[in-house]
C-alpha cells in the first residue's frame, strides 16, 4: 500500500528518525571499554525523567512485564500478601502474575472504565493491623480502557495509616508522557517500557526503585536470576550489564532521552494533555460517542478507548482502518473486546499526525455503518487545538 503507515496503537509508539538512525549502527563488543560511557549517563538521566534523586534506576532487556517480575521477586518473599485493584487487562495481569509467582494477591475488582479507588485501598490497609500486606500495586495508566489512576491518593492512604507496604506503580504507558513524580509521591518501585513514551522499539524494561525498596531486597529470599535487581545494580555501577545487552537499542535510548530532556519533562506532560484533549473532543463532540473511561477524572492522556454504538462491532472498524486506510488502531481486550477501539496518543506526535488517526478511524466507522458525520472529528479537534494553542 502506498503512503505512510499510521501507527496509533498505545504502544509501540512512533520512533523518531534520529532514534532510528542511532539504532541502525554496526554491531559492537558489549564489553568494550567505551560501553560505560554510554550506559552510566543513561542510568543517571533516567532519574531526571522519573524525578528521583535518591532512588536507583535499572533497565533489563525485556518488556515492561519483565520489570513487573523483577520488582516483585527482588523485594518480596514467597507467600507475601499483595494488594491491588483490577480494572483492565494490564492491572489484572499484574495481579495474575503475583498469584503465579507464589505471592498472595488481594484483588479489588473495580468496574472497567474506572480506576484504582483510594477508599477501597484504605478499607483493606486499615484492616491489616499486623501489616501482612507487603506491597500495594497501582496501575497509573490502564492501557486497555484508557483510564488513569491517582497514584498520589494511594500514597496518601499509606501515609495516613502509617502502613509500611511498598508502593509499586505500573507506569508503562504513563512515564515520560504525563505527570509522574517518583520521589515526591513516595513510589518505591515504578515499571515502564521502552516502546511507549520513551519512543523506542520494544525491548527494554525500565525499573525505578527507592532506597526503601533496596533495603527490602536484603530481606528477600525469593530465588532470582535473570531479573535480579541487586545483580543489575552492581553491574550498572561499573557501566555494564550482567549479560549481553541490546547495544543498538541503548544507542537509540541515548538519543531518545536527549530528545525528552531537550523538550523538558513538564512540557511533554502539557503536550500530551493538549493532544489527548483534542482527541477526546473529536470523539465526544465530533462523533457523539463515549469514552470507555466513565468520568473526566479517569481520562488518560496517552490512549483513548472509544465505545462503539450498541449493535456495532469494533473489530471490523479496526480491520478496515488497517487494510483500507493503512492505519493501525488498538483493539479492545478481554471484557471490552469488540466493544471499543483505541487511539494511542503518546510519544513522538503532533496535531497533524493525530488528524490522520481521527480521520482514518472516522472513515472506517462510516464504512462499517456507524453513523458519524464525515469531517466531524477533525473539526472538533481542530477547534480545540486552535483555541488552545499551548506553548510553541
Sheet-wide strand order for 340-344 = 6-8, 327-331, 340-344, 303-307, 290-291
| pLDDT for residue 378 | 98
| pLDDT for residue 392 | 57
Which cell numbers hold the place of 28? 559492537
Distance, in Å, from the CA atom of 272 to the CA atom of 324, rounded to the nearest integer, reads 28
Distance, in Å, from the CA atom of 11 to the CA atom of 177, rounded to the nearest integer, reads 12
Model's pTM, two decimal places?
Answer: 0.96
What is the per-residue DSSP string for 78-89?
Answer: TT-EEEEEE-SH
Cα of first residue to Cα of last residue in the chain, in angstroms, is 34
User: What is the CA 113 to chain-centroid distance, rounded?
Assistant: 17
User: Is 170 exposed, middle or buried (CB count within 10 Å of its CB: 0-12, 13-18, 19+)?
Assistant: buried
Q: CA 344 → CA 43, 147, 313, 349, distances in Å?
A: 27, 12, 19, 10
| pLDDT for residue 1 | 77
Residue the block writes with cell 496518543: 345
Count CB-CB contacts under 10 A for residue 376: 16
Distance, in Å, from the CA atom of 94 to the CA atom of 368, rounded to the nearest integer, reads 35
| pLDDT for residue 176 | 98
Distance, in Å, from the CA atom of 40 to the CA atom of 42, rounded to the nearest integer, reads 5
Q: CA 148 → CA 19, 76, 153, 300, distances in Å?
A: 28, 26, 12, 5
User: Do 259 and 16 form a contact (C-beta atoms < 8 A)?
Assistant: yes
| pLDDT for residue 296 | 97
**Residue 56 in 3-state DSSP?**
strand
Sketch out the chain's domains with CATH numbers.
6-12+265-387 (3.90.1150.10), 17-262 (3.40.640.10)
Residue 59 belongs to what H/E stretch?
strand 56-60
User: In a structure prediction context, what are the per-residue pLDDT tens digits for the chain, which is 392 residues long?
Assistant: 788 999 999 999 999 999 999 999 999 999 999 999 999 999 999 999 999 999 999 999 999 999 999 999 999 999 999 999 999 999 999 999 999 999 999 999 999 999 999 999 999 999 999 999 999 999 999 999 999 999 999 999 999 999 999 999 999 999 999 999 999 999 999 999 999 999 999 999 999 999 999 999 999 999 999 999 999 999 999 999 999 999 999 999 999 999 999 999 999 999 999 999 999 999 999 999 999 999 999 999 999 999 999 999 999 999 999 999 999 999 999 999 999 999 999 999 999 999 999 999 999 999 999 999 999 999 999 999 999 998 75
| pLDDT for residue 240 | 96
Amino acid at each position: 500500500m502506498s503512503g505512510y503507515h499510521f501507527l496509533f496503537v498505545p504502544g509501540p509508539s512512533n520512533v523518531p528518525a534520529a532514534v532510528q538512525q542511532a539504532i541502525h549502527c554496526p554491531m559492537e563488543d558489549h564489553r568494550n571499554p567505551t560501553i560505560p560511557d554510554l550506559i552510566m549517563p543513561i542510568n543517571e538521566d533516567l532519574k531526571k525523567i522519573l524525578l528521583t534523586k535518591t532512588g536507583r534506576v535499572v533497565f533489563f532487556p525485556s518488556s515492561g512485564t519483565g520489570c513487573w517480575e523483577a520488582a516483585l521477586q527482588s523485594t518480596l518473599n514467597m507467600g507475601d500478601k499483595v494488594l491491588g485493584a483490577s480494572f483492565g487487562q494490564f492491572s489484572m495481569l499484574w495481579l495474575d502474575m503475583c498469584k503465579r509467582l507464589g505471592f498472595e494477591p488481594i484483588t479489588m475488582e473495580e468496574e472497567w472504565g474506572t480506576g484504582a479507588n483510594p477508599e477501597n485501598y484504605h478499607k483493606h490497609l486499615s484492616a491489616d493491623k499486623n501489616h501482612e500486606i507487603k506491597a500495594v500495586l497501582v496501575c497509573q495508566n490502564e492501557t486497555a480502557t484508557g483510564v488513569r489512576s491517582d497514584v498520589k491518593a494511594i500514597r496518601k492512604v499509606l501515609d495516613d495509616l502509617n502502613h509500611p507496604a511498598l508502593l509499586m506503580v505500573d507506569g508503562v504507558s504513563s512515564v515520560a508522557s504525563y505527570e509522574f513524580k517518583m520521589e515526591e509521591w513516595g513510589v518505591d518501585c515504578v515499571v515502564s517500557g521502552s516502546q511507549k513514551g520513551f519512543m523506542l522499539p520494544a525491548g527494554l524494561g525500565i525499573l525505578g526503585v527507592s532506597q526503601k525498596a533496596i533495603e527490602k531486597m536484603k530481606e528477600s529470599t525469593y530465588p532470582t536470576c535473570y531479573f535480579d535487581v541487586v545483580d543489575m545494580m552492581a553491574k550498572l555501577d561499573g557501566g555494564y550489564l550482567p549479560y549481553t545487552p541490546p547495544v543498538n537499542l541503548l544507542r537509540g535510548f541515548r538519543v531518545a532521552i536527549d530528545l525528552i530532556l531537550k523538550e523538558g519533562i513538564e512540557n511533554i506532560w502539557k503536550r500530551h494533555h493538549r493532544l489527548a484533549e483534542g482527541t477526546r473532543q473529536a470523539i465526544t463532540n465530533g462523533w457523539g460517542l463515549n469514552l470507555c473511561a466513565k468520568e473526566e477524572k479517569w481520562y488518560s492522556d496517552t490512549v483513548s478507548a472509544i465505545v462503539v454504538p450498541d449493535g456495532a462491532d469494533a473489530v471490523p472498524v479496526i480491520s478496515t482502518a488497517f487494510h483500507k486506510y493503512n492505519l493501525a488502531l488498538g483493539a479492545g481486550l478481554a471484557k471490552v473486546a469488540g466493544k471499543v477501539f483505541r487511539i494511542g496518543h503518546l510519544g513522538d506526535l503532533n496535531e497533524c499526525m493525530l488528524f490522520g488517526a481521527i480521520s482514518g478511524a472516522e472513515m472506517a466507522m462510516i464504512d462499517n455503518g456507524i453513523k458519524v458525520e464525515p469531517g466531524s472529528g477533525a473539526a472538533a479537534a481542530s477547534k480545540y487545538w486552535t483555541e488552545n494553542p499551548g506553548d510553541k
